[in-house]
Amino acid sequence: MADSFGPVYEVTHTVDREIIAAFDDWLGQHVEAMLDVSGISRAAIYTADDDGDGRPRRVSQYHFDSDADLENYLAGPAQVMRQSAVDLFSERFDVSRRVLHESEVVDGSLKSAALCLNCGATLSGQYCGNCGQRASSRLISIWQLLREAFGDLLELDSRLWRTLIPLAVRPGILTRDYLQGRRARFMPPFRTYLVLSIVFFLVAFFDPRENFSIFFDDNPVASEEPGGDTDNSRNIRDEVLREFVEEGVLSADQAGIETLPADVDSIGSAPAQAENADENEENSDGVNIRINGNPATADKCADFDREDMPPWLESRLTPDRLKVMCERIVADDGKAWGSKLLENVPAALIALLPLMAIVLKALYPLSKRYYVEHVLFVVHFHAFIFLVLTLQILFSRFVSLLTLPEMISGITTAAVSTYIPVYLFKSMRRVYGQGGFTTTAKFLVLLFAYLMGLATTLMVTATIAAFSI
């Protein structure tokens, strides 16, 4: 049978190490004196971990019979009992106090204090007051696991929605509140950035119809009737193969064509064609189409203008390297290069964060703000860009799905393009608190730096992608 008890008055002392022995003697006597106070049924002393500066800590708990007894103690003898420690140790210790309402007796004995399984702190409720972990240690069900995974998404009052709504419509408010210490109500800045960037790239570059085309292929089967699409496709294929044979890329046997046009000899001599065919047969197990021998590819990759390149880039991109890169890109119409570019864009945007923070640090030299505070501003701004672009893409696809006029999508795109710089300007005013004229001048400098930084970053990313294929 469980009997409820009154509140527990807990006092934590943080003491200089030089006086800890004398303080322990005084605390033992003090606890004995506290037991003589009316309304206190029990008292205990615990040794806590040292604080961050290595100072020992002692925790004393006093069990009161009721809330009224605790109020009488605080209004009366409390000041007298505290004064003895001040007289003896002056300012060589710090003290904090709190009231707990969680003790109870089970089967006539005091229930042992539960400890947090994560950090070892004494639990005083459903969650640990030190690290925030839930007190329960039992295994959870699949349903509870899903609720924890999607809880922030489904709960309207969660930190997710309390973060996304002001991020979208209140420029700079998240950064200002974070710097002023109001942080627990919002998602951490870098977590917000990472989540929104992942969502953006999934929405922007993942097309189910392209990646899982087998499930969406609704094209009718080609007709097998004479004169249908099948015959047309076969004729086109035969024509292309004949051109390969005429140019000496394939032999007639490889192409599977029994007869050739009568004017084959006008293109090249038979011995030369046979020699080319023999080379292809010796160097390949089947069809061998070499990009280096393609005149169209050679023309595209012949000359490059390197005069406008930065010196550090021009010295590395020699003509031979440029030609090799070009041939690799043209070989598959740039698909492999585009794929590598998309893989590197997230890292490039992350690299842009500290660069823009340096620009802000230079624009506000007298703001007395640390560099990391400018980084925080840029992180929130980039998170906003990911959010608004994701919404724009989803809206455009919704308009396309409903076959609405494309003008609607164009209007929203223009609105978003205008809103982003306006958002940046208002964020600068709210966070840094300067006047309109000064902020406008710094906004223009920051906007130019963004354009230059983004162009340079994308150029380097594109070059790295070209070297990677």
- Tell me the angle at which helices 159-169 and 371-401 cross, rounded to the nearest 10 degrees: 90
Q: Are 190 and 247 found together in one domain?
A: no
Q: Are 210 and 354 found together in one domain?
A: yes
Question: H or E element: which one contains 64?
Answer: strand 57-64
Report the relative pairing of strands 40-48 and 8-15 from DSSP bridges: unpaired
Cα–Cα dist 56/27, whole Å: 13
The proportion of the chain whose per-residue pLDDT surpasses 90, expressed as a percent, equals: 18
Is residue 60 within 8 A of residue 45, CB to CB? The reply is yes
- The confidence band for 359, taking pLDDT boundaries of 50, 70 and 90, is very high
- Confidence (pLDDT) at 160: 79
- 148 is a domain residue: no
pTM for the full model? 0.52
Across 18-22, 156-160, 248-252, 262-266, which has the greatest mean pLDDT? 18-22
389 exposed, middle or buried (CB, 10 Å; 0-12, 13-18, 19+)? middle
| pLDDT single digits (tens) 234-261 | 666 677 667 666 766 566 665 565 544 4
- 244 is a domain residue: yes
Is residue 51 within 8 A of residue 35, CB to CB? The reply is no
Q: Are 277 and 378 found together in one domain?
A: no
469: how many CB neighbours lie within 10 A of its CB?
17
- Here the CATH number for the domain that contains residue 17 is 3.30.70.100
Q: Are 233 and 370 found together in one domain?
A: no
- Confidence (pLDDT) at 53: 79
Residue 234 CB-half CA count within 13 A: 12
Closest to 266 in 3D by CA, of 247, 293, 240, 294: 247
Cα–Cα dist 237/243, whole Å: 10
Q: Are 376 and 246 found together in one domain?
A: no
- List beta partners, residue 446: none
Q: Are 197 and 236 found together in one domain?
A: no
Q: Are 82 and 49 found together in one domain?
A: yes
Average pLDDT, the chain: 75
Q: Which of 288, 303, 318 is the last residue of a domain?
A: 288
Cα–Cα dist 83/99, whole Å: 20
- 297 is a domain residue: no
Cα–Cα dist 370/105, whole Å: 52
- 243 is a domain residue: yes
Is residue 380 within 8 A of residue 175, CB to CB? The reply is yes
What is the length of the chain?
A: 469
- 362 is a domain residue: yes
Domain count of the fold of the chain = 3
In the chain, the amino acid numbered 48 is A
In the chain, the amino acid numbered 342 is L
Is residue 40 within 8 A of residue 70, CB to CB? The reply is no
Q: Which of 68, 87, 107 is the last residue of a domain?
A: 107
Q: Are 47 and 102 found together in one domain?
A: yes
279: how many CB neighbours lie within 10 A of its CB?
12
352 alpha carbon, distance to own chain's centre: 14
Q: Which domain holds residue 7?
A: 2-107
256 exposed, middle or buried (CB, 10 Å; 0-12, 13-18, 19+)? exposed
- Confidence (pLDDT) at 291: 40
Q: Is 109 helix (H, G, I), strand (E, B) or coil?
A: strand
Q: How far is CA 308 from CA 53, 305, 314, 315, in A?
A: 58, 7, 9, 12
The phi, psi pair for 313, rounded to 5°, reads -85, -35
The alpha helices in 76-172, defined as continuous H runs, are 78-89, 142-154, 159-169
For residue 441, pLDDT beyond 90: yes
For residue 109, pLDDT beyond 70: no
For residue 209, pLDDT beyond 80: no
| pLDDT single digits (tens) 420-434 | 999 999 999 999 988
- The confidence band for 452, taking pLDDT boundaries of 50, 70 and 90, is very high
- 405 is a domain residue: yes
- The confidence band for 107, taking pLDDT boundaries of 50, 70 and 90, is very low
Q: Which of 91, 107, 123 is the last residue of a domain?
A: 107
Q: Is 423 helix (H, G, I), strand (E, B) or coil?
A: helix
Q: Which of 74-78, 343-347, 383-387 has the lowest mean pLDDT?
A: 343-347
Q: Which of 25-39, 97-111, 153-167, 389-403 has the lowest mean pLDDT?
A: 97-111
- 263 is a domain residue: yes
- 150 is a domain residue: no
- The confidence band for 173, taking pLDDT boundaries of 50, 70 and 90, is very high
List for the chain the helix, strand, coil content (%; round to 5): 60, 10, 30
Taking residues 308-332, report their average pLDDT.
67
Residue 193 CB-half CA count within 13 A: 18
- Confidence (pLDDT) at 247: 64
